[in-house]
Each structure stands twice: as C-alpha cells, then as structure tokens.
Amino acid sequence: MFTGIVEAIGQIEAIERLPEGGRLRVRAGAVLEGARAGESIAVAGVCLTMVEVVDGAFAADLAAETLRRTTLGRLHPGDAVNLERPLRLADRLGGHVVQGHADGVGTITQVRPEGDGVWMEIEAPAALAPYIVEKGSIAVDGVSLTVAGLPGGSRFAVALIPHTLAVTTLGQRRPHDEVNLEVDILAKYVERLLEGGRAR
C-alpha cells in the first residue's frame, strides 16, 4: 500500500519489450537505501516488484496486463518517473490510500498557471468518471491529489502547488501527455456493495 506522497524522481535507464510483457530498469538513487529484491515500489503510480537491486538502480518485470493499463510500455530511456516505496505501519498517511493498481490512462488537456501553481485538466477514460468526485482523492502518476473541479464529460481538474510541481514529474507535464490514473478504492468498494444489495 502507498500514500501518493512521492519520495523521489527516478530515471528510466532501459526498457526491454517482450511479446508478453517487458522489463524496466530505473536509476533511483538514495530512495533504494535498504531495499532488496522482492520488495515493491510504485513507479509512476504503478506497483512493481523489484527483481534486482544494484548500485542505486533496480529492475522490475512488466506483465502484459501492466502494459495494457498503464503508460509504462511507452517510456523511453531518460524519461523521469515518480517513485514511492510502500507505506510502513508506523508511517503517517499523508496522502490517501493508494494501491498502485492503475485503473487506466488519462490525457492532459490543459495546463495553465494559477497564482504560484498550476491548474491542470485531465481527460479520464469514461468508465472511471463515476468514481471521480469534486474534493475527492485521485492518484495521477502516483501523486495523491484532490479533485478541484469537474469541467464536464469525463474531465477533472487538479490544482498543483509549487512543491508538487518541484518534487514530482507533474511539473514537466504538458497538454496531450498521458498519465496513469488510480481512482479512490473506497468508491469502488461502495459501488460493489451497492451492486450486491440490489442483487438480493
């Protein structure tokens, strides 16, 4: 489990594309201190298992399902990615409950300055729109954010403060860029429970 509070920005060193998956190598630096193969890490909001950890870099295998649902298969060497290691029981939950199970890919439609920060609008897949509510939580490339507005259709807006722009990859994002989206797990559980009630 993660919180959506990015710990570091890593850099893609290599990506190997295979017929039914792939392998990613990421230069991560100090965030890997004490890390071992077999542990999880969120890369651009996607929970992966580190299969190798060597000299400040790690490798992770990509399943075909991961490539279908996320942007990871479109990355190239040199690309920057948000990194977060899993929550420990003693840690503060600074963001919201993030599983690292991306629900789909959104497309940034607008980025405009607003005061010292940025107003960003994102087109989500239509199937995710019912789970996105104003002032609710959403993870964008692994960053825990509050939905600031619902401009229409399946678009939603977030207000990014200078700190978020400086310490995550969202400060580099532009219109037409694609981002991984994870909606609030609580909304999905509520829907499932209501479906069960209607079926009785």
Catalytic member of 14, 64, 126, 146? 146
Which of 37, 63, 126, 166 is an active site residue? 63
Give yes or no: 2 in active site.
yes
* Residue among 47, 57, 124, 139 flagged as catalytic: 47
64 assigned to active site: no
- Please pick, among 37, 49, 64, 127, the residue that the annotation labels catalytic: 49
Q: Has 47 been annotated as catalytic?
A: yes
Q: What are phi and psi of 97, to 5 degrees?
A: -70, 115
Give how far Cα 168 sits from Cα of 58, 93, 181, 194, Å.
19, 18, 15, 36
Residue 49 catalytic? yes
Residue 144 bears catalytic tag = no
In the annotation, is 40 catalytic? Answer: yes
The number of residues making up the chain comes to: 200
Whether residue 3 lies in the annotated active site:
no
Contact present, 74 and 178 (Cβ < 8 Å): yes
Alpha-carbon separation of residue 198 from 128, 185, 193 (angstroms): 21, 20, 9
Distance CA 75, CA 94 (A): 28
Residue 125: strand, helix, or coil: coil
Catalytic, out of 35, 40, 148, 157: 40
The catalytic position among 42, 59, 60, 101 is 101
d(CA 106, CA 158): 13
Q: Give the active site residues.
A: 2, 40, 47, 49, 63, 101, 146
